[in-house]
Every structure is written in C-alpha cells, then in structure tokens.
A and B are shown apart, each in its own frame.
Chain A
Amino acid sequence: MGKVRCWEIFQCKEKGCPAYKSRNLRCWLFSGTHCRDEIQDKFIDKIEMCLDCKPFKKNLDMPSMKNTCKVFNVQLKEYKQIVEDRDKELENISMDLAVGLSEVFDALKKISSGDPLVRIPEISNIELIAKLKHLVNLTAQNIEEIVDLSHEFAIGLAEHFDVLHKVSRGDFTARVSDSSKEELLRALGKVTHEMIESVSREITDRKRAEDRFRQVAQSGGVWIWEVDGSGLYTYSSRVVEKILGYTREEIVGKKHFYDFFEPEVMAQLKEEVFGVFYRKEDFKNFIYSSIHKNGHIVFLESSGTPVLDVRGNLLGYRGVDTDITERKLAEEHLRKSLREKEILLRELHHRTKNNMQVISSLLDLHSINIEDKNILNIIKEVQHRIKSIALVHEKLYQAKDLSDVNLKDYIMDFAHALLKSYEGSQGKVYLKVDVDDIFLSLDTITPCGMIISELVSNSMKYAFPDSRKGEITIECHSADDGGVELRISDNGIGLPEGIDFRNTKSLGFKLICKLAEDQLRGTVEKEGGKGTTFLIKFREIKKGKVL
C-alpha cells in the first residue's frame, strides 16, 4: 500500500500549512495544519477528523503509529493537568462563593430581624461577592439611618403624647424637651408649646370670667337664664327664687318664659317676643311685668342674645333679667310727687300774681285821693314794676314747663299793656316788637321785664313831648356767643346833652344798671344815633349761675 501526499489527494495549495510538501507525511502530528480551510490545533484536538482522513489511513504504519501514540500520550497528559488545575480553581471559587453568600445571607437575616448595625467584611476573591457584600453593608447603613430617624420620631411622638396627656389632665407646666436633632420635631415642639400656652391663657381668662360671672350671678339681683327655641327654660340661676319665688328646679324644663306674664298682656307680649326669636335679634332693656309665685306683680328689665348653631339655626336665647320693681315703684312715687309739686308751684305763681295785683289795686285806691302828679307818677311806675313781675308769674303758671317763660310772649303782652297804661298814647306812639323765641328762667326774666318796663316808661314819658308821634322798638335776639342781646330804642328827642345815665339821680336808670349788671351779670350801654337806644347784653341765669 503506497503512501499518499495530503496536498496532492486534496489538491491543496495551502503553502502556509506546515504539512504542505513536507517530507514527513505524518501530517496529523503537525500542529496548525490548514485542513478543511481551517487552521487546526494539536493532534489531540483534531483526532476525530484525522481518524477519518485518507492520508492518516494510508500513511499510518507501525513506526508512525508508535510515534503517534507517544505524541497523543504527551498531549493527553497536558490536558489532564489543565483539567486538574481547573478543578482546583473551581473548587476554590465554589468555596469562596458559598462562604461569601453565607455571610451575605446571615447579614440580611440580621437586618430583616431589626438589627441595622450588622456589617460584613467586604473582602472576597470573587469580585461579585465583594460587590454584593458592599451592597449589603450600604443597605444596612441606610436602614440604620432610617431606623434612627423613625426611632427619633417615635420618641418625639411619645414625648408629645406624654405632654399632651399631662395637659389634658390640667398640668399646663408640661413641656416637650427641645433636644431633638430633627428640625421637624423641634418645630412640632414649638407649635405644641405655643398651643399649650394659648390654651393655658384661654383657660385662665375663661376661669376668671366664669368666676366673675358666678360672683355676679350669685351676689347681685341679676337672674341669668337660657331658653330653647320654644321658650322653655333650659337654665336658670338661683336668683330666680328671690325674684319670682320659684326655685330653679320648678322652672328649668317645666316653665316657658311667657308662663309668668300677666294674663291680660300675655298674648301680645308672647307674639312680640317670638317675633324677636324669629328675627334672631338681640334685645336690650326690655321692660315687662311678671307674676310672682305669691301673686304680686314684679317688674323686670330683660336683655338677651340668640344662641345659634354653626349653621346659624336658632337653638334658643340666653340673657339676664333684673328686678326693677323697687325702681319702678320709686319712679311712680317720684312722678306722683312731681305732679303734686307742679300743682303747688302753679298755685304759688298764681297766688303771687294775684297778690301783686292786689298790691297794684291798693295803689290804685290810694292814688284816687292823691292830686300831686309827681306822687301819682311814682305810684304808676311802681305799678308798672309790679305788673312786670306779676306777668312773669302769670306766664309761669300758664307755661307747660314751670321753669321757663317764652320771652317773646312776655314782651308782647307786657309792652302792649304798658303802652296802654299811658293815657293819650293811643295813635301816637307805636310799639314795634322783634323778639326771638327765647325761653328764660324766672331768675332771668324778672330783672329783664323790669328793665323793659323802666326803658319803655322812660320813652313814653320823655321821648315824645308835646304829643309827638313816635315809635318804640323792642328787639331781643340770641347772640352768636350763646348770650342774649336786648335792644330798646325810640325815635324820640333823645336824652338831654351831657347826661351820663350812670350818674343821674333817676331811680329808673339806677335800677336798670343794677338789674343788668348785678342781677343779670351783663352789660348795659347807650348806643348813639337818633332818639335813645339802650343795648343790654346778658346770659341766661339758672339757680344763680350764669350759663
């Protein structure tokens, strides 16, 4: 059997192949042949291919087989060594893997049981295990931080709980420690403290108010009550027993507010009060009468305010009643007494006026037998003065208000009567009156009337000699400063030259100055111009005081 050349039978042109045109025809023993278009490895690696290959079959003889077996053995040993080395390596890796995973599992177990402090060494021959251990440590570290935080919050919460519990039992000195490192807990502590202080203040204020309320409710004659929407008493202070004779127990839940009204006015008052209920209005100082348990009438002054729910629906009313029976009786007594005094005063003024008229009439009687004109004039002047005073009393008892007289009415009556009393004055001397509605007291109007009497008498006597015609004007107005300005003038011949009215012997002028300056505490001055004009300024006098 002839030997073959592999490049020839396969018509191979792979010049780079170590077997190509080699003298050694044991091509299978060459490493790196280019068989089947691939670069082959050692014989042991390509043995399956070679065993079926023609050159192997044709060229294998005894010597080459021996050589081939030798090569195969060497190459087999090499592989065995590699496999053994790999086995050892794998064994080590498995061990590291098992130990590492055990450590990881153990750590995870501890973490899951609630111990975040566990840490494992991050050393391992296996990079993956080292990384895994690192992740476990990181996880434990994070869980530790979370546990610390939740722990801090739990302790903080427990502390708040404890403080609020103490506060709820009335201990307002309880405070949360501000030692927490967590900002949120410190802020919560601050809010809690503010809340406790605020509640403490509120309770202190309320307690004081309640104390005051209790003192008022117990000490005074103030009856504090509450009724529901139907008017049924839901609360009553004990004072009610003093006021209406019923005990609190007899009223609360048993009586309506209108049960105490007098039967004659009950229907009307009930309607009135329920009208207030309907409008949900406050009421203040509502005066009504009630019937005491023993039957007598009690006057009460009531104030109340509606009690509403959060939606504004009326729940009832709350208020206070004060027993004003004594005050009412006192007022009635006072009114009666005042009426009696008014009647007496009116009678007094009437009698004074009558007495003055009697005096004036007596003077009239005396003047019948007197022929001396001077004496007659004196008597007339005295009568005028009496008349001026008597008219004040007449006006006073005719007035609605016994204290003040309308100056306008007074002057109109008095001045015209004065004018008429002078014989021959009709048709010659005219009276012009321009007076505001000024109301003056007895203290003011009496001197005022006498001044008018003196000045008008003077004008009548001296201003229009020889039956002259003329005009006397009386003006009286309220001044801007609140005073009164009385101006009496005539268009007669005027006062003789060089006469100082303050320094004459005339009783009339002396009286005018005295009355104006001393009694009215005002001023009197003579104004220039034609005729005679006097201006008297004064203020209202009440009970001796200038207003």
Chain B
Amino acid sequence: MAVELLDTNGLKCPQPVLKIAVKAADMKLGDILEVVGDCPTFERDVRVWCERLNKVLLSIKNEGGYKKRIQIQF
C-alpha cells in the first residue's frame, strides 16, 4: 500500500480535481493519495469527486487560510 503526494497549491478549481483524476489512473486498490491545495473550493471539489467515484475520503486537515491537506484512499 503506497502513499502518494499531490501538490495542487496555486491551482484553481477545477484543476485540482483533474490532477487527482489523472493521478488516480496510477493508483492501486488500497493506495492513499494525499492532496494539498489552497483553492477556496478545494475541499468541496474533492468531496464530490470521492463521492462520485466511490473513493474513501480519509481525512481533511486545515493548514491556514484556504490551504487544506486531504487524504483519499483508493
């Protein structure tokens, strides 16, 4: 089970979600993707993406301002 990091700081919606979608193709079942982003709608976007694609949203950590760190399990 691998943990991959994806930095989307500075990217605005919907770019973070598209980056996650591209990265998801390389993820295996059980792998964890940790995504960092500072787009104001970042959390909402990732939540919807996980819901639609049946991925597990493990955690959301506020890092000040809009910046958040989200863990997704595949």
Contact = CB atoms under 8 A, between A and B. Distances in A.
- Does A associate with B in a complex? yes
Interface string B1-24: 000000000001111011011101
A115 B13 CA distance: 10
Contacts of A114: 12-13, 39-41, 66
Interface string A339-351: 0000000000000
Nearest to B48: A155
Nearest to B12: A114
A151 B45 CA distance: 7
Contacts of A159: 52-53
Given A151-B48, A157-B21, A162-B24, A115 B66 contact: yes
Contacts of B15: 154
B52 A151 contact: no
Interface residues of B, number: 20
A358 interface: no
A110 B41 CA distance: 12
Given A114-B12, A115-B40, A115-B41, A155 B25 contact: no
Contacts of A99: none
A158 B66 contact: no
Nearest to B26: A165
Nearest to A110: B40
Nearest to B11: A114
A523 interface: no
Q: Identify whether the interface residues of B are mostly helix, strand, loop, or mixed.
A: helix
A492 B17 CA distance: 117
A154 B41 contact: no
Interface in A335-393: none
A177 B52 contact: yes
A190 B41 CA distance: 29
Contacts of A115: 40-41, 66
A123 interface: no
Contacts of A155: 14, 17, 45, 48-49, 52
Contacts of B53: 158-159, 162
A257 B5 CA distance: 58
Given A114-B39, A114-B41, A150-B13, A162 B48 contact: no
A177 B66 CA distance: 30
Given A115-B40, A117-B40, A165-B25, A154 B13 contact: yes
Nearest to A150: B14
Nearest to B14: A154
Contacts of A154: 13-15, 17-18, 21, 45
Given A113-B40, A114-B40, A165-B25, A151 B17 contact: yes
Interface string B43-62: 00100110011000000000
A168 to B, nearest CB: 9
A512 to B, nearest CB: 98
Interface in A108-154: 110, 113-117, 147, 150-151, 153-154
B4 to A, nearest CB: 16
B24 A151 contact: no
A150 B48 CA distance: 13
A135 B45 CA distance: 27
A158 B20 contact: yes
Contacts of B49: 155, 158
Nearest to B39: A114
Contacts of B20: 158
Most chain A CB inside 10 Å of its own CB: which residue of B14, B18, B48, B66: B14
A179 B21 CA distance: 18
B41 A162 contact: no
A161 interface: yes
B40 A158 contact: no
Nearest to B24: A162
A155 B40 CA distance: 17
A141 to B, nearest CB: 15
Contacts of B41: 114-116, 147, 151
A110 B12 CA distance: 12
B13 A158 contact: no
B18 A158 contact: yes
Listed residue (A116, A155, A158) with the most chain B CB atoms within 10 angstroms of its CB: A158
A73 B40 CA distance: 64
A161 B21 contact: yes
A161 B21 CA distance: 7
B21 to A, nearest CB: 3
Contact of B17 (A113, A158, A177): A158
Given A151-B14, A159-B53, 18 more contacts: A114-B13, A147-B13, A147-B14, A151-B41, A151-B45, A153-B14, A154-B15, A154-B21, A155-B14, A155-B48, A155-B49, A158-B18, A158-B24, A158-B49, A158-B52, A159-B52, A161-B25, A162-B24
23 contacts: A110-B40, A113-B66, A114-B12, A114-B66, A115-B41, A147-B13, A147-B14, A147-B41, A150-B14, A151-B13, A151-B48, A154-B14, A154-B17, A155-B45, A155-B52, A157-B21, A158-B21, A158-B53, A161-B24, A162-B21, A162-B24, A165-B25, A179-B52
The 6 closest A-B pairs by CB, nearest first: A154-B14, A158-B21, A115-B40, A114-B12, A154-B17, A114-B39
